[in-house]
Amino acid sequence: MADKELKLPFSYCKIERGASILGVNPTDLINLAVLNKIEVCMMLRHFYSRVFLRANFSEVKDWYGTLQLNSRWNYLAATAREISNQSVIEFTNAMYNQPEKLISGIDVFNEMEGSNHVTGVGFASGLWRIMPEQFEGTNYVERFFPSFSPCLTGGESPVAQLMPAQPFEDFKNGKKFDFQDHIFTASHDDLWVTSYDLKRIHRAELDFDALPDLGSVERLDIEKTNKPEINIRSEKALERHARNELIVISAAFKYREENSEEFNSECIKKDSSYNYSAWARNVMDRVALFPNQECPVRSADKVAHYISKVFK
């Protein structure tokens, strides 16, 4: 089968079409995504995002200077930059009717999260990867928590995660922090795969064991003369940390939803602020909240840190 190169007239397609081309079931492709063999993505259009970068302000400035202008999506503003060939961010808060509050470009990154994380806002479009832990089954993404990472990122992109920006802004303005309006169940029609991954599967002759894990695949998909070489070990570590962080955050949300009375009693202080340490301990004690019945992070302090980054 792999003797003949797979020719495809597109860069990406719905998961059902991709499965049909390969002669497999869509759930087979989802299973490969769960096991970090391929990427399954969602198509975003002006998704107002809180962008988490694993870098300091100086590193973010240097990285931003290497980004290419958007060349694929005609409806995007001039502030759009390509994070990968398929993932784009418009770096702006889009407050065009309030010029005194409008920020764009590198200026959107104006918050520190811990010692080496920067956050900002932007509008994401194009394909964005669903982290494997989002799949609770192999038919769909149940109660999808809208968190994404760039699709087919070549090099060491500092973009670790996108999350809905509005709940964070509401919280800053004194409103209740609530993600419920952003959670939904995704069907096969919401899921996309890239021609890049379809060709990899074809070359492996549909053999699971022959298909390399994504952490060992070099994905130089944006041509730049100044593009840094990929450090595969570093890239794998970054991906592992981002995956663990998402697992912990998802478990924290589930715990709060499923144990609201206990959460309010043990994890909220008298001044109405969160007790992150208690929240972390309670989450770690409930292994059923995690894939494979195991918390990927051993330190309660690290779990509390991950939770506090989201709920500050």
Q: How confident is the model at residue 233 (pLDDT cuts 50, 70, 90)?
A: very low
Q: Which residue has the tokens 């993932």?
A: 87
- One domain for residues 163 and 66: yes
Tell me which of 1 and 265 has the higher pLDDT: 265
| Residue that is last in its domain, among 195, 215, 242 | 195
* pTM score, whole prediction: 0.69
Do 292 and 175 sit in the same domain of this protein? no
Question: Terminus-to-terminus CA distance in the chain, angstroms?
Answer: 52
The model's confidence at residue 247, banded by pLDDT at 50, 70 and 90, is confident
Contact call for residues 80 and 92 (beta carbons, < 8 A): no
191 and 301 together in one domain: no
Last-in-domain residue among 143, 173, 195: 195
Among 195, 221, 246, the domain-final residue is 195
Q: How many whole angstroms separate alpha carbon 47 and alpha carbon 167?
A: 13
Residues 6+ apart with CB under 8 A from 172: none
pLDDT band at 2 (very low <50, low <70, confident <90, very high): low
**Which of 108-112, 198-202, 220-224, 270-274 bottoms out in mean pLDDT, i.e. has the lowest?**
220-224
Segment 163-174 shows an average pLDDT of: 81
- Asked if 49 and 164 count as a contact pair (C-beta separation under 8 A), the reply is yes
pLDDT of residue 5: 83
Do 124 and 252 fall into the same domain?
A: no
Residue 278 lies in a domain: yes
Would you place residue 224 in the very low, low, confident or very high pLDDT band (cuts 50, 70, 90)?
very low
Does a structural domain hold residue 97?
Answer: yes
Condensed to tens digits (0 to 9), the pLDDT of residues 71-120 reads 776 777 778 898 888 899 999 888 877 778 888 888 888 887 666 788 89
128-152 residue pLDDT tens: 998 777 776 555 566 677 788 898 7
What is the chain's length?
Answer: 312
The residue-averaged pLDDT of 292-296 equals: 83
- Quick check: is 200 in a domain? no
Instruction: Based on the fold, state whether residues 17 and 75 are members of the same structural domain.
Output: yes
Q: Which of 53-62, 111-120, 246-255 has the lowest mean pLDDT?
A: 111-120
Looking at the fold, whether 147 and 92 belong to one and the same domain comes out as yes
217, 30 Cβ separation under 8 angstroms: no
CA distances from 57 to 61, 161, 228, 229, 275 (A): 6, 17, 19, 22, 29
Using only C-alpha atoms, what is the Rg of the chain? 20
And the tokens for 41? 């993505």
For the chain, the average pLDDT equals 81
Domain range enclosing 293: 232-311
Q: Which of 2-11, 30-39, 139-148, 296-305 has the lowest mean pLDDT?
A: 139-148
The predicted structure's pLDDT at residue 49: 92
- Domain count for the chain, please give it: 2
The residues near 67 (Cβ < 8 Å, ≥ 6 apart) are 81, 82, 83
